[in-house]
Amino acid sequence: MAYTWMKAVQILKFSKSTPFALVQQCMAHRDSFKASEIEYHYTSNPKPKPANSDFCKFGTNFTDHMLMVDWDDVKGWEIPVIKPVEDVGLHPAASVLQFSTELYEGLKAYRTARNTINIFRPMENMKRMEYTAERACLPAFDKQEVINCICELIRVDKEWVPYSQKASLYIRPFMIGTEISIALKRPNTATFLCIMCPVGPYFATGTFSPISLLADPSYVRAGKGGVGAYKLGSNYGPTIMVQAEAASRGCQQVLWLYGKEEKITEVGTMNFFMFWINENGDKELATMPLDEGIVLSGVTRRSLIDLARQWGEFKVTERKITMNDVVMGLNENRVLEMFGTGTACVVCPIDRILYKDTNLHIPTMENGPYVAGRFYKELADIQYGRVSHEWAYTAVEEY
């Protein structure tokens, strides 16, 4: 309410409109958009769906429709629209092009054996999107209404959700600043969009296949006090060059290190986990804590921590892990498994790290991998509805 009256005072100074009309205009400011108000514009030219979604290359084959909502700082959010996927027109001076005022999220939809469609813990994605929007100076929104709108988009394109237990529908909601200005400031206009694509395994090696990592301390993903904990596109673009360097050296991903201690932060775009026998002789699942702001709060990361604590079979610790810990642990045969976790790959085993021109063999696959494999199975059982669980959110009822 304070915002609308402040805006009214601002407009009174520069407008000849009557005060009553001004109040009406300001009170109409919309703090969020709603699924009940969606306008539908269906495609007249639906695209052919993949013959086999299990082999869909990640992020390239998009569904027929998208969700789009505009915002400005006077009126707030406009009416949401579901319409055919199309180009988005932007002025060359749009703030997203000039200053990377952009954020995104990633979640998936899964078809169950009962022909319902689930999404996995979407409110956790919305919480992260909310605090990322605040950091990026982009507008706030009602988290549940965004989920409702995404579910409606899934319903419209429900036949794009693979009839498979190996594939899923990747969902990419994102927000961009669209103000036409090359001045560095908070954008006064923005657009929320959501697009979707059926996907198979994230890596070309297939589902749950081990990967190799380049650990080079000369490259840093994020610094303390920066924005590494936020889901900003500007965090990821600069990593492409390092990823190419890893590939040129025979590795599939980058193991990001930080500081003189060479703390292990993330694996490519994934969170990092190590299952080992720690310095005190205890079996421990360890992952980097979030308190320094250099690690993204992954939804899969949180889920693995929660599951492992429910098991109660070993220590589960959010703690600093360094390359020295890894090297010593390997030399003393205390490292059992390493893996990355994220929405795209779910759980990805690690079997090799190239560190200072030395290949470190990680015995993940020789050890089952008991823990990584168990996580992968339990999450898949929840996501595909093979077990009933509160983390499975029904996006589309049986039809």
Mean pLDDT of 115-140: 98
Integer Cα distance of 61 and 45 in angstroms: 15
20 and 154 housed in the same domain: no
- Report residue 206's pLDDT band, with 50, 70 and 90 as the boundaries: low
Residues of the domain holding 17 = 1-30
Give yes or no for a contact between 65 and 157, defined as CB atoms under 8 angstroms apart. yes
- 182 and 225 in a single domain? The answer is no
| 177 and 66 in a common domain | yes
Same domain, 169 and 118: yes
Residues 188 and 220 grouped into a single domain:
no
The CA-atom distances, in angstroms, between 196 and each of 25, 129, 188, 351, 398 are 35, 17, 27, 32, 20
| Alpha carbon separation from 88 to 66, 192, 196 (Å, rounded) | 11, 11, 15
Say if residue 332 is in the same domain as residue 314. yes
Q: Residue 346 — left, alpha, or beta (φ > 0 → left; ψ -120 to 50 → alpha)?
A: left
List pLDDT tens digits, range 361-396: 999 999 999 999 999 999 999 999 999 999 999 999
Asked whether residue 307 is assigned to any structural domain, the reply reads yes
Instruction: Tell me whether residue 382 is in a domain.
Output: no
9 pLDDT tier (thresholds 50, 70, 90): very low
Q: Based on the fold, state whether residues 219 and 100 are members of the same structural domain.
A: no
The pLDDT score that the predictor gives to residue 208 is 82
Question: Residues 246, 182: one domain?
Answer: no
- Determine, yes or no, domain membership for 77: yes
Q: What is the CATH number of the domain that holds 122?
A: 3.30.470.10
pLDDT > 70 in the chain, percent: 92
* Residue 369, preceding peptide bond in cis (omega within 30° of 0): yes
Whether the pLDDT of residue 20 is over 80: the answer is: no
- Return the ∠ at Cα 23 (arms to 19 and 25), rounded to 5°: 115
Amino acid 15: pLDDT: 43
Same domain, 225 and 335: yes
Q: Residue 329's pLDDT is what?
A: 98
The answer on 61 and 24 residing in a single domain is no
Give tens-digit pLDDT for 139-186: 999 999 999 999 999 999 999 999 999 999 999 999 999 999 999 999
- 314 phi-psi bin (left φ>0, alpha ψ -120 to 50, beta other): beta
Number of domains the chain is built from = 3
Establish if 398 belongs to a structural domain. no
Of 55-64, 266-275, 322-331, where does mean pLDDT reach its minimum?
55-64
Q: Are residues 216 and 118 in the same domain?
A: no
In a domain, 381, yes or no: no
pLDDT tens for residues 335-351?
999 999 999 989 999 99
Q: Which range is least confidently modeled, 5-9, 42-46, 294-298?
A: 5-9
